[in-house]
Structure 1
Amino acid sequence: MTTAATQPARPGKAVRTPKLRADATRNRERIVLAARDAFVELGPDVPLDEVAKRAGVGNATLYRNFPDRTALIREVALLVKNRILALAETAAAEADTAGASPFDALQRFAHATVEEKLGALCPLFTDRVDPFDPELAETRERLTAAVGGLLARTREAGELRPDVDHGDLFIAISQLTRPLPGTSCRLLDDFVHRHLQLFLDGLRAPARSVLPGRAATFQDFQAHH
C-alpha cells in the first residue's frame, strides 16, 4: 500500500480517465468521492484501506482503478475542479437570464462552492498534483472564463464593487473552508455559510470603504495554491 506521495508526472504528460462500463464507473465514482471526504477529514496520508471501506469496495477494486495514492489524488482534484466548473457555468448562465439578478447567481455559486471543501484540499492539490497536467489545466482555464464572465455580468449590472476580482472570491472561499488548528471540521461547517454571506455582502456595490492593495486575480490564487 502506498502511503507517501510520489513525484508528479513530467510536465505536459497527459493522463486521461479511462472509459468504463456502468458498474465499474459507479465503483470509481464512489472511490473518488470517498477519497475526497477522507482527505478532508483525515489528511493526505489516510490509509487507502479506509478509502476503500468508505466507498464500499474491496482493496483490489480500489487498486485496479488507482494504482497509487498520486493517481487517486489527481482524480479527486479533477472531480472537485469539474464540480466547481459546472457550478460556475450554471451561475454564469443564470446571470445572463433576462430579469435575473447576477449578484444572486454569484451568491448561489459561492455558497455551493464552499461545499466542495476547497480550502481543506488546496494543500493536497498543491503538493501532490502535477501543475502541468493538461486535463486539469483545461478545467482551470474554463473555470477562469466562467467565473470571469459571472463577475463581469454582475459588475455591469452595477451590483458588484469595481475593485475586486476572481482571486478575491476564491481566496475567501479557500480560507473559509480550511480547518483552523484546534477546531473541528463540524464546527467550521456550522458557521461557514454565515461568514461567507458576510463576505459576499462586502462585495456589493456601492462599496462602503476603500480596499487596501489591489484586487487578487486567478493568477495570484493559483500561484499560492
Structure 2
Amino acid sequence: MANKVQIAYLIADFLFLLMGIFILSFSVIVNNIKDEVPTNGRQAARNLLYQGFPLTAGIVNAVFIFVTFFATLPGLATTSRLSLKIAGWMSVVCMIFTLILGLYLWILTLKTRVDFFPRFVAQPDYIKSLMQIEFECCGYFNASSPAFVTDSTCPSPAAAALMRGCAAPITGFANVFVDNIFTALFGVVGFDALFIMATACLLKDRKERARFQHIDEKNGL
C-alpha cells in the first residue's frame, strides 16, 4: 500500500506530466496558426510574434518531459531507487530546458521594438493597414519610416503626419502578450521543482525503509 510520501510523489508526477501536455499543446497549436491569414490588427501582430517563438524547442522539451514521466513508472511499480534517481536527473534537465525557453521569451520583450520592425516592413500593405487601423497609428517608427499605407486611419500624408508610429502601441501589446506566456513557463518551472523535491523525498523514504528492513533481517524478523 502506498504511503503518504509516495502518494505525494504520484500527485507531483501527474502535475509534471500535465505541464508537458501544456507545453506540447501550446507549441503545436501556435505552430498551426502562426501563418494563418489575419482578420484584424491584433491577430496580425500576434501571428508575427508567434513566428519568433522557439516552437520546435518547445515540442522537444515536451517530448523529453514525457520520456521522463515514463522513466518514473518502473520506480513506481517496484521499490527500485535507481530508476527514480535517473528520472530525477532527467527532470532537472527538463526544468533547465523550460527555464531557458522562458528566459528566451523574456529577452524577446526587451528588444521587441527593434526586432518587430523587419517583420512589419516585410508584410503586404493590407496587413500593415490592419495593424494601423487596430492600433491607430501610421507607419512604424513614424508615418515615413516606413511609408504609411493609405487607409481610414491614415487617409493622407498630412493626416498621417499627425498620428503616432505603430512601434509604441505594438510594442506595448507584444510585451503584455509575451509576458503572460513566459510567466506561464516560469510557473511550469515551479512544478518541475516541486516534482524534483518530491523525488528527493521518495528516495529518502525508500532509503530509510531499506535500512530498517536490513536491520530487521539481521534481527531475524
What TM-score comes out, normalization by structure 1 length?
0.29
Relative contact order higher in (CA < 8 Å, ≥ 6 apart):
2
TM-score (norm 2): 0.30
Q: Larger C-alpha radius of gyration, 1 or 2?
A: 2
